């Protein structure tokens, strides 16, 4: 057995137990890539995977606009209510936090597995919902910097 695969196998098992299909598929694909002789693609995935994923996610988020389900008037009306304004402010903050997560995960890639395992445990045992590792990484980066645990 290749012990290098053990972390991905653990993540796969936890994601199956936690019914987290996204993480399960990702772990399974990464386990299969070397076994299919495609390991030359791993550096490309490592370098560009987050950006490709963000593009796909952004396309999904913007698809209601492209379909005409959200008009310009609807977008402008959001600023007229306190809840809408708060949603915009929180959206800006979380986008910034996610950006910090990208930086932190590049500087400390060993934390990615811990973030995913923590997310899967939260889904399995605390009836949580999986939030993106970028936001989780950003929150970890903020706390680590505030507590002075990480030197940049």
Question: Which of 2-11, 29-38, 116-125 is the least confident region?
Answer: 116-125
Half-sphere exposure of 36 (CA within 13 A, CB side): 9
> CB atoms < 10 A from the CB of 21, how many?
11
Mean pLDDT over the full length of the chain: 84
In this prediction, residue 150 carries a pLDDT of 56
Asked whether residue 7 carries a pLDDT value surpassing 60, the answer given is: yes
Spatial distance between the Cα atoms of 58 and 36, rounded to a whole number of angstroms? 30
Query: Counting beta carbons within 10 angstroms of the beta carbon of residue 64, is it exposed (0 to 12), middle (13 to 18) or buried (19 or more)?
Result: exposed
Model pTM score: 0.68
Token representation of residue 71: 């008009």
Phi and psi angles of residue 130, each rounded to the nearest 5 degrees, phi first: -70, 120
Asked whether residue 37 carries a pLDDT value surpassing 90, the answer given is: yes
Angstrom CA distances, 123 to 13, 126, 148, stand at 13, 6, 29
Note the pLDDT tens digit of each residue in 73-124: 888 888 888 888 898 899 899 888 888 888 888 888 888 878 877 877 887 7
Residue 140 binned pLDDT confidence (cut-offs 50, 70, 90): confident
Instruction: Check residue 39 and report its DSSP letter.
Output: G
Contact 39, 54 (CB under 8 A): no
Domain ranges for the chain, please list them.
3-147
């Amino acid at each position: 057995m290749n012990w290098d695969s053990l972390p991905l196998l653990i993540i796969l098992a936890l994601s199956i137990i936690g019914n987290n299909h996204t993480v399960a598929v990702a772990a399974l694909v990464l386990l299969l890539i070397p076994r299919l002789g495609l390991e030359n693609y791993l550096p490309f995935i490592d370098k560009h995977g987050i950006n490709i994923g963000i593009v796909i996610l952004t396309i999904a988020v913007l698809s209601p606009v492209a379909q005409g389900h959200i008009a310009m008037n609807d977008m402008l009306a959001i600023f007229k209510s306190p809840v809408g304004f708060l949603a915009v402010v929180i959206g800006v903050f979380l986008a910034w936090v996610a950006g910090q997560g990208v930086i932190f995960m590049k500087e400390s890639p060993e934390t990615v597995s811990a973030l995913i395992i923590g997310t899967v445990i939260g889904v399995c045992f605390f009836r949580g919902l999986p939030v993106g590792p970028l936001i989780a990484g950003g929150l970890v980066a903020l706390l680590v910097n505030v507590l002075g645990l990480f030197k940049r």
